[in-house]
């Protein structure tokens, strides 16, 4: 593995770790703290802020995916080279599991702590609002579709340069504000995998949906972007990043 690929994988690891630690940490630690009252609004902003901050910290190294669905969506749009897809996804999933482990270690140090769902995602009885499979599948596809459309649009030629992290972070905040009551919000298979491994049981059994739906929505958005944005007007972020590294 060359040094440029190693740097990309480390960037994706750090970004995904921060997303899971910050976003799920807000749900497991801060939202559950008596009297603090950040609620699901605070959790929504926590997820948005993780992406916003890491987009500027390491986005120029790897493109700032932090999400297997984003990687596959950008790949389907012609914005991610084939050779980066598997390494990115591996780094993202490992980071999510590591962050969930760190969060479990922190949370379980409190006497009498009860893990509950541990910020995992679910449908039916595991949905915060008890939404059924069809509704949970639909919202995850739709939310991921629009998330990728925003990512691709704001990083395309002609968009305001240097500001993409802001609308992307705000989009993720909005997505959580809408969909936390439905699925506890995934739109990110790695983010779902880490907590599900520790929540176990039925949460692990329902994990398939939180891989399938985000990937379907992301690939749909990537395919549409090939038609919506003229190919010559799309910035090849991989080429840009490689020039910076070299």
Residue range of the domain that includes 66: 3-245
- pLDDT at site 233: 41
**Tally: H helices and E strands in the chain:** 11, 0
CA 102 – CA 48 distance, rounded (Å): 20
Only one residue has tokens 């639909």, namely: 138
> Mean pLDDT in the chain?
91
What average pLDDT does the segment 160-180 reach?
94
Count Cβ neighbours within 10 Å for each residue of 217-245 and write b for 16 or more, e otherwise.
bbbbbbebbeeebeeeebbebbeebeeee
CATH code: domain of residue 226: 1.20.1080.10
What are the pLDDT digits (tens) for 104-158? 999 999 998 888 899 999 999 999 999 999 999 999 999 999 999 999 999 988 7
**pLDDT score, position 116:** 87
Q: What is the pLDDT of residue 38?
A: 84
pTM above 0.85, yes or no: yes
C-beta contacts of 110-116 below 8 A and 24+ residues apart? 115/198, 115/199, 116/199
With 0-12 CB in 10 A as exposed, 13-18 as middle and 19+ as buried, what is 1?
exposed
């Amino acid at each position: 593995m060359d040094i440029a690929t190693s740097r990309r994988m480390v960037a994706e690891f750090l970004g995904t770790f921060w997303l899971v630690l910050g976003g799920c940490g807000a749900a497991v630690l801060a939202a559950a703290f008596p009297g603090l009252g950040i609620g699901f609004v605070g959790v929504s902003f926590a997820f948005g802020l993780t992406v916003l901050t890491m987009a500027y910290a390491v986005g120029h190294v790897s493109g700032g995916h932090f999400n297997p669905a984003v990687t596959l969506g950008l790949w389907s749009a012609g914005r991610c080279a084939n050779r980066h897809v598997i390494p990115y996804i591996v780094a993202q999933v490992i980071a999510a599991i590591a962050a969930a482990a760190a969060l479990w270690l922190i949370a379980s140090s409190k006497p009498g702590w009860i893990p509950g769902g541990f910020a995992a995602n679910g449908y039916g009885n595991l949905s915060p609002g008890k939404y059924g499979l069809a509704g949970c599948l639909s919202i995850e596809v739709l939310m991921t579709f629009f998330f990728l459309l925003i990512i691709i649009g704001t990083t395309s030629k002609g968009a305001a340069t240097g500001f993409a992290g802001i609308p992307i972070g705000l989009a993720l905040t909005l997505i959580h504000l809408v969909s936390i009551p439905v699925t506890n919000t995934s739109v990110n298979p790695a983010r779902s995998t880490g907590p599900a491994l520790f929540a176990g049981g039925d949460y692990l059994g329902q994990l398939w949906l939180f891989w399938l739906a985000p990937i379907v929505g992301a690939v749909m958005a990537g395919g549409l972007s090939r038609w919506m944005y003229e190919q010559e007007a799309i910035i090849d972020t991989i080429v840009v990043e490689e020039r910076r590294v070299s």
